[in-house]
Structures are given as C-alpha cells and as structure tokens.
Chain A
Amino acid sequence: MTIPRIVGAGLIVIGVGVGIGRIGGQAMEAIARQPEAYGKIQTAMLIVAALIEGIGFAALFATAEN
C-alpha cells in the first residue's frame, strides 16, 4: 500500500506550523520579559521563521507530483 503524497504534504505543514508557532510563542514571551529588546527579538524571530519556511517549501516541492 502506498501512502498518498498529500499525506506527506500535510505532515510537512504540521511540522512547519509547530516550528513557527513555537518561535512566535517564545518570541512573545521574550518580548514580555524584555520589552526594550523588541526590535532585536523580532528580527531574530523573522530570520529563524524564514529558515524553517525555506525547508518546509523545499519539502513541499519534493512531495509535489511530477
């Protein structure tokens, strides 16, 4: 039995969602602790989120048919 590709795409989205969600949540916590470091935390958050997103898209392309 073969697992359909769309299941893989769903798993990727779950993984990326959990990852970016954790980054966002932790960044919120960090900002609450140190509101004066808002700018720096936001920049770091965006970079890490972008890195995860890049991997996620690469994986999604791998699951895409043909």
Chain B
Amino acid sequence: MRNTLLVKLFLVSTILFSVTVFAKDTEINSEETKTDLKTEIDEYIQHHLKDSHDFSLFSYTDTEGHEHHVGFPLPIILWDDGLVVFSSSKFHHGEDVATSGDNHYKLYHEKIYKTDANGTINYDAEHHPSNIKPLDFSITKSVMMILITGFLMLLLFGGLAKSYSKNNGIAKGVGRFFEPVILYIRDDIAIATIGEKSYQKYMPFLLTIFFFIWFLNMFGLTPLGVNVTGNIAITSALAILTFLITNFTGTKDYWKHLFDPLGDSMPWYAKIPLYIILIPIEVLGIFIKPFSLLIRLYANMQAGHIVIMSLIGLMFIFKNWIGSSLSFGLAFAISLIEILVALLQAYIFTMLSALYFGFASEEHEHAEAH
C-alpha cells in the first residue's frame, strides 16, 4: 500500500518537474542568452580565482532588482606619497570612487588606480589602464586568510606542545590526530631524505610549510570562497623560502657537486669541455627546482577550483533535472578528490623541499668510489 503511494508521489513530482523544465526551456532557448550565461559563469569563476579587496560570501539580486552583497569590508592600505588607510566599503564593490583626503581611487579588475573625482580610467593602445597605481599593502581576502591560518596554527600547535608537558608526554585531544602526522613527517620525510645527522634543523620549516599549505588548501574547499594557495604570489613566496634555505644551508660538498661534479676522476683539461655544458645545467637546476614547486602547487589548486566551479556552472547551463543532478554528482566526486589533492600537494611540497635540503646537507666521505 505504502509503496504504491510512493510510486504515485514520485510520478506526480516527475511530471510536475518536467513541466516546469519545459516551461523554462522555451524561456531561455535563444542562443544569445546562452552565450551571455556562459560569459557570466566565466566571469564569476575568474572573479573567484582572484584575490579581492572585500570579503564577500555571496551576492544576490532581490525582486526589486537591487543587488545585495553578504560579507564584510577589509582595510585598504596604500602608499601614495604617504600612508592612505580607509575601508574597502568606500568602493561599494568596485562601483564607486573612494575619496581619501584629496586623492580619489577606483577599483578596476581588483586593482586600485588613482583617478580624478569622477573616477575616469584612461586606457592605452592595448586597453590597459594608464592611471597611476599606488603601492598596495591592503589586507585583502588572501592576506586575511593567511593571518587567520597563522594564528590558528600558533594556537593549535602551541597548545599541543603545552599539553604534552602537562600530560607527561602523552598526546591528548586533538594531539591524538596530529601526533601521527607529525611523526610521519619526521620519520618518513625528514629522516628518510635528509638523514639522521642534520634533519633536526630543517624540521620546523618542514612542519610549518606542511600544515600551512594543508590548512590553506582545506580552507579553499570551504564555502568561504578563498583561493590562497591557488595564487601564484603566495606559492612563489613559499618556493623562495625553500630556495633560500637550500642554498644558505648548503655544505661544501653541495657546492662542490654543483661546480665540480667529476672531482678527481679526470684530469683538468678533460673536464673543461664537459663543464661548459654541465655547470650551466646544474646552475639552472638550482632555479628550476623551486620554480617547479611553485608552479605545481599553484596550478593544482587553481585547476581544482576551476573544475569544481565549472561543474557547478553546468547546472545553470543545462537547467533541467538530468543535467543538474549530473553536475551535482560530478562536483561532489571532484570535491572528494580535491580533499585528497589538498593533502597530497602539501605532502609533495614538503617531500620535495626535504629532498632538496637533503641534497644541500649531503656530506659524503669522498675520495673513494663515487
């Protein structure tokens, strides 16, 4: 009895659904609205991938046609012949000209330009704005997330360290989750690649960078809409740190390996023609290693965000229940993969950094067979 009722309900709802679907289909079936929708989705994704000067969670248009933005403004800090500080709410999401003292500023594609009182932006031949760009030190969305993550890590791991000393070295609470992760980084990443002798001085950096990237990747998957590790400036900064640490802690053997890899195995006149090729390659390698680190992390996170948002965008293009459920299912599956990728990218960044530190701190008892 109950089953037949369910079947009837299902049938009725399907029929109702398909009716509304057809009604909508006739409404939007012209080619023009479709391309408009596509560019709109494209712009939305582009906007999401960029850093922004205010923290807006979502925006909607009400029945009277007014746009509402849900979120909060962030401070704008500029250096324009003196410090200029004001709230990003003055921009009204890029629609208004912000005035601070005698200066006027306008937001154009998330970049701040100095303009006149009317906010005119002049373009050069290639349609790039030719207005003056003041130095921008604003607390943007990404900067705010970095500060929050840093603060979170400080609280979390500082508290963890204290709880260890209180409980005679036994993990408690959240420490039971993080202890195996930290031990894994120490035993299977640091000791395995750097070696027993000098792994300890690299441990703080490896742990910090692992949790920093992992937490930021995970924040990127929340509906907060932040894309910090998918920003090339941030991954560059992380890779530059690895580069500096690798080269400043490099031992004599590391530099010898770079500039005299063949050692005493050959007379000097035989080495010259080889070194003309070998040394430039080795020197290039110093820069290519961190460069591949930064590209990998940036491209992976960027690609993940684009894929998820495009799949969600499909829902608005299809506008029927097959397409919507399909795109929901795909977006769900990709989100699950992204959770894995978030951990994997943090692991790979740490692993490869440790590998480079291992090269830098190698000290082999030379002279005998290489």
Contacts and interface: CB of A to CB of B under 8 A. Distances in A.
Contact of B351 (A47, A54, A55): A47
6 contacts: A46-B347, A47-B355, A50-B296, A54-B292, A55-B292, A58-B295
A10 B299 CA distance: 17
A47 B348 contact: yes
B188 interface: yes
Interface of A: 39, 43, 46-47, 50-51, 53-55, 57-58, 60-61
B224 to A, nearest CB: 25
B299 A60 contact: yes
Given A43-B188, A51-B292, A57 B300 contact: yes
Nearest to B348: A50
Contact of A53 (B188, B296, B347, B355): B296
Contacts of B344: 46
A50 B354 CA distance: 14
Contacts of B296: 50, 53-54, 57
A54 B295 contact: yes
A46 B188 contact: no
A60 to B, nearest CB: 7
A57 B351 contact: no
Contacts of B188: 39, 43
Interface in B284-304: 292-293, 295-296, 299-300, 303
B352 interface: yes
Contacts of B347: 46
Given A55-B292, A58-B292, A50 B352 contact: yes
Interface of B: 188, 192, 292-293, 295-296, 299-300, 303, 344, 347-348, 351-352, 355
A57 B301 CA distance: 12
Nearest to A56: B299
Contact of B295 (A39, A46, A47, A61): A61
A41 to B, nearest CB: 13
Contacts of B295: 54, 57-58, 61
Contacts of A50: 296, 348, 351-352
A8 to B, nearest CB: 16
A55 B299 CA distance: 11
B300 A46 contact: no
Contacts of A43: 188, 192, 351
B351 A46 contact: yes
Given A43-B188, A46-B347, A46-B348, A57 B355 contact: no
A25 B369 CA distance: 34
5 nearest interchain CB pairs?
A: A57-B299, A54-B292, A54-B296, A50-B348, A57-B295
Contacts of A39: 188
A35 to B, nearest CB: 18
A47 B352 contact: yes
A58 B300 CA distance: 11
A38 B12 CA distance: 54
Nearest to A50: B348
Nearest to A39: B188
B107 to A, nearest CB: 22
A39 B189 CA distance: 11
Contacts of B293: 54
Nearest to B302: A57
Given A46-B344, A46-B351, A53-B300, 16 more contacts: A43-B188, A46-B348, A47-B348, A47-B352, A50-B296, A50-B352, A53-B296, A54-B293, A54-B295, A55-B292, A57-B299, A57-B300, A57-B303, A58-B292, A60-B299, A61-B299
Nearest to B349: A50
B127 to A, nearest CB: 12
A25 to B, nearest CB: 19
Contacts of B352: 47, 50
